[in-house]
Structure 1
Amino acid sequence: MAIRPEYPRPQFFRDSWLSLNGEWDFRMDDRNEGLSNRWYENGGESGAFDRKIVVPFCYQSPLSGIGENEFHDVVWYRKKFRVPEKEAGKRTILHFGAVDYDAQVWLDGQHVCSHEGGNASFSIDITDALVGDEHTVVVRAQDYFEDMALPRGKQYWKEKGEVMWFTNMTGIWQTVWLEFVNPVWLDRVKFTPHLDTNEIEMETFIQGLPPKGRAELTVEITFAGSLVAKETVWAGERESRRINLQDFNDHGFGRWWSPEKPNLYHAAFTLNVDGIQSDRVTSYFGMRKISIEAGKVCLNNKPYPMKLVLDQGYFPDGILTAPSDEAIRLDVELCKKMGFNGMRKHQMVADPRYLYWCDRLGVLVWGEMANAYAYSEEYAYRMTQEWGEVIRRDYNHPCIVAWVPLNESWGVPDILIDPKQRHHAMALYHFTKSVDSTRLVLSNDGWEHCLSDLCTVHDYSQDRGVLLERYGNLDRILNDMTGRKFIYAPGYRYEGEPIMVTEFGGVNLRVTEKSPHVTPCAVNEKDFLDRLVDVIHPMVVSGLVQGYCYTQLTDTETEICGLLTWDREPKIPLELIRLINEGEIVDSL
């Protein structure tokens, strides 16, 4: 059976590709001797690779075929492959969805790439390193389990998860694949929708052109199979243009993207060099706008309450790697069935397939970075570099409406008293704004904000009376510190930003014997439902809260506060949760 066989980058599709998922040779390098013993040469024929692993699952996950939690900071991978005959003469690009944390890559014994960062994708043109017919790729991955200044999210620094931290990951954990392109190819496209002028801005990046060279680039835009626009231009390495989508009008055709109507335009790019087709790529985009108007969060120029659920993205057998594309789609579908219109991807960077299904099915996404726990200058360099790579990769997805580089002062634990850490939070805010001016950005979600586009609060009180009083009064929201931290860091204050409660709830219910024992805990389904009403209804009727994010979508290995079990079984009927979100259930049943 093929392992995660779906195309890994559906927002930019090219049909000439080959998955390298499946069984790889594997070795743990506890003595860190692989480099000195040159395991990367001749495919490591010395017998260094003594185990097998199923990629793209990390060795800690059962689906990898290993399933061991012991720390091994350095691991090696090896895979042999052949370039298909039909792709002969093309350039070969090697793609890694994600490797945690430091990766070094060799091809036929030649070092071709290094990459730092466990959440961002990276690629290498390996054409010039290919020798002969059969080829060997070797990957050395190094993690730093006890480095608290490493962007790691919920990955624990101990071997067994506890409280709100989960099993660690090391090495390859997203799809590895080859792509075959002609000598001149379209490297990427950047879509920026301009809703108010009915235009889509497209920035194209072409590789392989000679200096000052140009090629003929044609783009065809369709909607529901009908041609909307077609344009051919002479393009250089980097071009930017706007195309007017003259046929769309929200009052008529209704082609804007929203959770209620996830309309997508499809774009096909054809690149011709000297009259011969050199490349063809298909993509898509959504026309949507997220903004703040007159103090209101707006989607497509209309006030839009966000009803989000926190998604930590963990799976019982795959850790942060979904067992299948169907499993990813199921999470998105379950979110919608419960009456939520979005998900906050928490302390991890989403798989592009996840974002694809949110685009297709209509779910808002808050894109969040996996945070560190301690601050250092080295961390600041790491964080900024990797965060930029994440934004660049995921920029085109219409589902993403907000960026969260920092959460709850993780990575900046002394932000309240350390000006340097406040500068870091502001640097991330302004950096994000400098490369993406189209989305909302949070400097530090939950508390101790510097400058943020929203005033977001985390509040796990489960007392209905307290929540009704607190979120019905602006002064109480900003200044009631009972069980909470300061909303703003020194030097910053509330300036009328829309208010959202972006973590709340967390009601526990243990429904399976394998679930951990956590207190406090609902005693049965009726008690669980009553508690959900107690925490969600005050947000629905607040009048001041413009959106919320309930914690959380599913149970995890150490938490039982999911609306679903870890196996994605509903704890109570999904329809009841939908009715609570819609304000139809206001009292205990």
Structure 2
Amino acid sequence: MTEQWRSEYPRPQFVREQWMSLNGEWEFEFDDARVGDKENWYEKGAFSRVINVPFCYQSELSGIGDPSFHDVVWYRRTFALPDAYAGKRIWLHFGAVDYEAAVWVNGKLVATHEGGHTPFRADITEALKDGDNVVAVKAVDYSQDVTLPRGKQFWEEKSAGIFYTRTTGIWQSVWLEPVSQTHISRVRMTPDIDRGELKLQTFVGGFAPGRDVTLEATVSFEGQVLSRDAFTIAREAESRSIGIHDFNDHGLGRWWSPEKPHLYDLRLRLLVDGEEADRVDSYFGMRKVSIEDGVVQLNNRPYTMRLVLDQGYFPTGLLTAPSDDDLRRDVELTKEMGFNGARKHQKIEDPRYLYWADRLGLLVWGEMANSYHFSETYVGRVTREWLQAVERDYNHPSIVAWVPINESWGVTNILVDEQQQQHALAMYHMTKSLDPMRPVISNDGWELVRTDLVTIHDYEWRRDVLADRYSALDKALSARPGNRFILVPGYEYEGQPLLLTEFGGISFRKSDWEGWGYSGAEDDEDFVRRLRDVLEPVREAPLIQGFCYTQLTDVEQEINGLLTYDRRPKVPLAEIRKLVQGD
């Protein structure tokens, strides 16, 4: 059993001082015969295996490394609470469990959850006892169900093509947290650089009418207090606008951008009858993403997005990074190669990655992990999980676009099926209703319905063809790369910005991994030439306002990364940077 485990604070935008990690060794068992419920595994019996949480059993770092189908798995461990937690409500948090989870504490069911990529929590106070407590988790996956929001997880046992090893069970951090009866349950921060304000929405749990409840919000920048506002909480949700007037648009200001990732600190103190009941530390960035007269803008200025496709897989941890340093390094490598953003492909990424994107300055497109077959069951599943994903990540300044559907996955007949078109429209409008400040792409790649950006996937590798195709709007919209319509007939082009959001995909073997790509290089010189042949015409095309190169790293059998699977550059980073930026 490896001793490596994830010890960093899992929720960096909503930090409480007291917390206790439950990562590390748990008892573990496969339940292929599905007898665990009948035999009450949640309250008795010793499991035969040990697993290293939060790594899924398919991964090497879990200590098991079994890629075969085991759709029902069980976990268990004991814990004792510190004396300092006495008198508080105790919450048990899970970052993500794929796909369904049931949680017991001391034999009492405390939570159920559906959705493999989003967090949930349980108030376990009433189930606790003095001394040691036992938490048990049953996770149920559906390895071969293609209506499941699964992203790149393959429905066959062995990876192939663009699909990779599955993730079953716990794959993000587990932790305990003591909170007061009246507490801050969540916060929503909306920057408005035009008005110089932050709209702050605070949601209070355990609200007690008749008591004196006050929220104190303190905004600071690099340790200097800029604003302190205290107001009475009269209901469970309160909104305030806080003036942020210490910046301007002459190069001296503090707006957030990849080039200058300025962040403000926010401390929230909840006082009940004059006594501090809760304290949460957070941060925000003042930035604006908009489209003006058909032009993508960041902070009211035209901005070219130079993105790289990033699938967020790791050789030893699969969807789970081995450490927080690995997440930070992915952001650093992306920037070192000249990109100013990443499209997190088919994965709702770990909040720690978004923290480093916020902190170091990297644009991120947030994308849903899609299904592969349309049904009413699929619609319910993907809608519920996407709602949770948007709520979880709303406050991150690095998130600048939402992609609920990619390449017609889950809506394979959208070109001719009105029901599937209505679903894509619903996802677009629902996302806009939750977040009016970011652009939404209804179906990234092709067969778009209503959309804020027209995004195209085109793996053409011939320089002259790319240059000609994107030299004029009529050529670009009628080209049909992959033999697909860019827009569903009946949905007209409305002057949206045009971006090439998948291209390149040049395979080049520089490790022990065998694999494939969309075109192949023979050596370093050939690889650089092929990169130049796709990057230069895309970068110079007058129509294209941004691009996303495929891809950051090799992933399992797919060897079309700029880096190997273990993050070694295939050619010098400075050479890639010149091609990406046009230096």
What is the TM-score when the length of structure 1 is the normalising length? 0.97
- How far did 1:493 drift? 1.7
Contact 1:21/1:54 (8 A) holds in 2:
yes
The one-letter code of the counterpart of 1:38 is N
The one-letter code of the counterpart of 1:567 is D
Correspondence for 2:306: 307
Query: In 2, distance between residues paired with 1:518 and 1:129?
Result: 52
Query: In 2, distance between residues paired with 1:466 and 1:519?
Result: 16
Q: How does 1:141-540 map to 2 (within 5 A)?
A: 141-211=139-209, 213-235=211-233, 236-251=235-250, 253-481=252-480, 483-516=482-515, 520-540=519-539
Correspondence for 2:116: 118
Correspondence for 1:12: 14
The one-letter code of the counterpart of 1:13 is V
Correspondence for 2:84: 86
The one-letter code of the counterpart of 2:95 is G
Q: How does 1:22-101 map to 2 (within 5 A)?
A: 22-41=24-43, 44=44, 46-47=45-46, 49-101=47-99
Is the alpha carbon distance of 1:263 and 1:98 closer, same or farther for their aligned partners in structure 2, counting shifts above 3 Å? same
- How far did 1:114 drift? 0.7
Query: In 2, distance between residues paired with 1:268 and 1:497?
Result: 39
Contact 1:459/1:484 (8 A) holds in 2:
no
Q: Show CA shifts across 1:394-447 (max 9, x none).
A: 100000000000000001001011111000000000000001001010110000
Correspondence for 1:587: none
The one-letter code of the counterpart of 1:477 is A
Q: Secondary structure at the residue paired with 1:429?
A: helix
Q: Secondary structure at the residue paired with 2:564?
A: coil
Asked whether 1:541 is paired with 2:540, we answer yes
- How far did 1:129 drift? 1.4
Q: Show CA shifts across 1:521-558 (max 9, x none).
A: 20000000000000010111101100000000000101
Aligned pair partner of 2:23 in 16, 21, 24? 21
Moved more, 537-546 or 180-189: 180-189
Contact 2:506/2:518 (8 A) holds in 1:
no
Moved more, 517-526 or 574-583: 517-526
Aligned-residue Cα RMSD (Å) equals 1.1
Q: Secondary structure at the residue paired with 1:196?
A: coil
Query: In 2, distance between residues paired with 1:80 and 1:529?
Result: 54
Query: In 1, distance between residues paired with 2:189 and 2:528?
Result: 43
Q: Show CA shifts across 1:190-210 (max 9, x none).
A: 000011000000000111122
Correspondence for 1:3: 5
The one-letter code of the counterpart of 1:27 is E
Query: In 2, distance between residues paired with 1:519 and 1:201?
Result: 45
Q: Secondary structure at the residue paired with 1:297?
A: strand
Q: Secondary structure at the residue paired with 2:194?
A: helix
Q: Secondary structure at the residue paired with 2:20?
A: strand
Q: Show CA shifts across 1:161-183 (max 9, x none).
A: 01110001100000000111122
Q: Secondary structure at the residue paired with 2:332?
A: helix
Contact 2:4/2:61 (8 A) holds in 1:
no
Q: Secondary structure at the residue paired with 1:257?
A: coil
Q: Show CA shifts across 1:339-388 (max 9, x none).
A: 00000000000100000000000000000000000000011011110000
Q: Secondary structure at the residue paired with 2:506?
A: coil
Give the % identical residues: 56
Is the alpha carbon distance of 1:482 and 1:182 closer, same or farther for their aligned partners in structure 2, counting shifts above 3 Å? closer
Contact 1:193/1:287 (8 A) holds in 2:
yes
Q: Show CA shifts across 1:278-298 (max 9, x none).
A: 111110000000000011000
Q: Secondary structure at the residue paired with 1:12?
A: coil
Query: In 2, distance between residues paired with 1:519 and 1:116?
Result: 36
Query: In 1, distance between residues paired with 2:268 and 2:173?
Result: 25
Query: In 2, distance between residues paired with 1:492 and 1:124?
Result: 44
Structure 2 residues not aligned, in runs of 5+: none
The one-letter code of the counterpart of 1:37 is E
Contact 1:448/1:486 (8 A) holds in 2:
yes
Contact 1:10/1:356 (8 A) holds in 2:
yes
The one-letter code of the counterpart of 2:269 is T
Query: In 1, distance between residues paired with 2:474 and 2:523?
Result: 36
Query: In 1, distance between residues paired with 2:407 and 2:482?
Result: 14
The one-letter code of the counterpart of 2:13 is Q
Q: What is the aligned length?
A: 580
The one-letter code of the counterpart of 1:273 is V
Query: In 2, distance between residues paired with 1:570 and 1:103?
Result: 39
Contact 1:292/1:298 (8 A) holds in 2:
yes
Contact 2:458/2:481 (8 A) holds in 1:
no
Q: Secondary structure at the residue paired with 1:440?
A: coil
The one-letter code of the counterpart of 1:582 is Q
- How far did 1:519 drift? 7.1
The one-letter code of the counterpart of 2:549 is Y
Correspondence for 1:106: 104
The one-letter code of the counterpart of 1:435 is L
The one-letter code of the counterpart of 1:271 is L
Contact 1:214/1:237 (8 A) holds in 2:
no
Contact 2:289/2:297 (8 A) holds in 1:
yes
- How far did 1:252 drift? 6.0
Is the alpha carbon distance of 1:65 and 1:466 closer, same or farther for their aligned partners in structure 2, counting shifts above 3 Å? same
Correspondence for 2:125: 127
Correspondence for 1:567: 566
- How far did 1:131 drift? 2.3
Q: Secondary structure at the residue paired with 1:453?
A: coil
Query: In 1, distance between residues paired with 2:74 and 2:502?
Result: 39
Query: In 2, distance between residues paired with 1:119 and 1:450?
Result: 26
Q: Show CA shifts across 1:224-267 (max 9, x none).
A: 11111110111132100101112222326410000000000001
Contact 1:371/1:406 (8 A) holds in 2:
yes
Correspondence for 2:134: 136
What is the TM-score when the length of structure 2 is the normalising length? 0.98
